[in-house]
Amino acid sequence: MIEEEFYKLFKGKKVYIRRPKYDGISYINKLWSDEETTSELGGPFSLTEEKAKTWYPKMVNPTDGKNFYCLIFNYNNEPVGEVSFHRYNSKTKTAELNIKIEGKHRGNGYSKEALQLILNYFFFEFGGEIMIDPVLLENKRGQQLLLNFGFERDESEKDIFLLRMSKERFIKLINGI
């Protein structure tokens, strides 16, 4: 694959998303270790250089085919968060969503647009059918964001707040049906 195509942008009105080059690890580590950003996600964690050497090829380049990771940028070309999907199951065509907006950038509508961009890629380019997000019970902000976007709760899981978006539902949402 041509490098330019691999790192292509997916553009919205407020933000764009793209796979990070390896030097993006410094921002990823900053994002993951920020208390304000990660407090509702189980707290900060560190991406050491050693971990980065195995994480990056699995998640970003060349990827294992089950994960797709992007940084979110505003149009000042400033990274404001991350959005990705993980653990894609080719039999069920299901993956798990991840989205984090850096604490200081919340409240600008970035997450909704980044969700639209990643779901559009997942359903129409990647070939996925169902996106789920097992949100922690205490992460009320994350639950509300996804419910407001149009995800539906799967009540069968009691130890987590499992949210689900099908391709069919996403098509209805983007078409205003």
Query: Which tens digits make up the pLDDT trace of 47-94?
Result: 888 998 999 999 898 888 999 999 999 999 999 999 999 999 999 999
User: What Å distances lie between residue 115 and 38, 51, 69, CA to CA?
Assistant: 18, 27, 12
Query: In 10 A of CB 145, how many CB atoms?
Result: 20
Q: How confident is the model at residue 2 (pLDDT cuts 50, 70, 90)?
A: low
Give me the mean pLDDT over the 94-106 stretch. Answer: 95
Domain positions in the chain: 3-131
Mean pLDDT of the chain: 91
Query: In 10 A of CB 137, how many CB atoms?
Result: 10
- Identify the architecture of domain 3-131 in CATH: 3-Layer(aba) Sandwich (3.40)
pLDDT at 168: 97
Residues sharing a CB contact under 8 Å with residue 25, sequence separation 6 or more, in sequence order: 47, 52, 56
Q: Which range among 3-12, 90-99, 149-158, 167-176 shows the weakest confidence by mean pLDDT?
A: 3-12
**Is pLDDT larger for residue 70 or for residue 46?**
70
pLDDT at 3: 57
Q: Is the pLDDT of residue 130 over 60?
A: yes
pLDDT at 6: 63
Q: Is the pLDDT of residue 115 over 60?
A: yes
